[in-house]
Amino acid sequence: QQQVKQSPQSLIVQKGGISIINCAYENTAFDYFPWYQQFPGKGPALLIAIRPDVSEKKEGRFTISFNKSAKQFSLHIMDSQPGDSATYFCAALRHNTDKLIFGTGTRLQVFP
Amino acid sequence: GAVVSQHPSWVICKSGTSVKIECRSLDFQATTMFWYRQFPKQSLMLMATSNEGSKATYEQGVEKDKFLINHASLTLSTLTVTSAHPEDSSFYICSASLREGQTDTQYFGPGTRLTVL
């Protein structure tokens, strides 16, 4: 119940296309869902985050879609660029706790 | 804002020696810091949660005597890998927690690559 399932494991997208990464959870006590971007040899960087009281959040080319009833959330990267090539991790935080539960990661490659 | 630094960025040591890794929150005070370990092409594995002025809380399976954590101030936490062995070689990443609205957002350091020969 503490798991966050992430798919796909890897994703190849052409430049200008849309990258979609999906995550699912079981624990309804999760109330904060961030996405992190990690380049090789670097630490994860916070990309965008959402709370379950909204169904969508957009920041530039990055959008989180959240489906509370299905317990699923996804990251959409519009107009994907080669510079977006990285590993993306979804995560979840349970209410009144401080431990992030990470997904398994998705390696995104954007080809020109 | 919300910058976290780590030092060193990489370290190579001989088996049996101890290595200290520093984690600093540069522009904010963090009551809680976290230490993670990451193997190649894998997700982050939480090792311990560190609170300023108190003992760290270790995750199940993490040896507290091997991975010593000290959180001396609101901006500094250190991880010491004692008597390091080749199997301790990994990418160690810290994060610091910043209260933003209703949420404690974790900001990560750049990581430290440890290689034990």
Interface test with A, best of B25, B36, B37, B106 (most A CBs within 10 A): B106
Q: How far apart are CA B86 and CA B14, in angstroms?
A: 9
Task: Quote the mean pLDDT of chain A.
Answer: 95
Which chain B residues are closer than 8 Å to A42 by Cβ?
Answer: 110-111
For residue A21, count CB atoms less than 10 angstroms from its CB and return exposed for 0-12, middle for 13-18, buried for 19 or more: buried
Q: pLDDT digits over A43-83, tens only?
A: 999 999 999 899 999 999 999 999 999 999 999 999 999 99
Q: Which residue in B has a C-alpha nearest to residue A90's C-alpha? A: B43
Q: Do A49 and B103 touch (CB under 8 A)?
A: yes
SS (H, E, C) chain A: CCCEEEECCEEEEECCCCEEEEEEECCCCEEEEEEEEECCCCCCEEEEEECCCCCEEEECCEEEEEECCCCEEEEEECCCCHHHCEEEEEEEEECCCCCEEECCCEEEEEEC
Instruction: Tell me the shortest Cα–Cα distance from B42 to chain A, in angstroms.
Output: 7
| pLDDT value at B101 more than 80 | yes
What backbone torsions phi and psi does residue A96 show, to the nearest 5 degrees?
65, 20
- Mutation for B interface: A9, A39, A46, A97, most B CBs within 10 A: A46
pLDDT of residue A1: 62
In this predicted structure, the answer to whether residue B100 has a pLDDT above a threshold of 70 is: yes
The sign of the dihedral angle between the CA atoms of A47, A91, B109, B56 is: positive
**pLDDT score recorded for residue A94:** 86
Look at B44 and A32 and tell me if their CB atoms are within 8 Å.
Answer: no
Of all residues in chain B, the one with the smallest CA distance to A87 is B41
- B chain contacts of residue A2, beta-carbon cutoff 8 Å: none
- For residue B1, pLDDT over 80 is answered with no
Give residue-wise pLDDT tens across range B28-70. Answer: 999 899 999 999 999 999 999 998 888 899 999 999 999 999 9
CB contact under 8 A, B109 and A43: yes
End-to-end CA distance of chain B: 37
The per-residue pLDDT for range B6-21, each reduced to its tens digit, is 999 999 999 999 999 9
φ, ψ for residue B83, nearest 5 deg:
45, 60
Q: Which helix (H) or strand (E) holds B58?
A: strand B57-58
* Percentage with pLDDT > 70 across chain A: 99
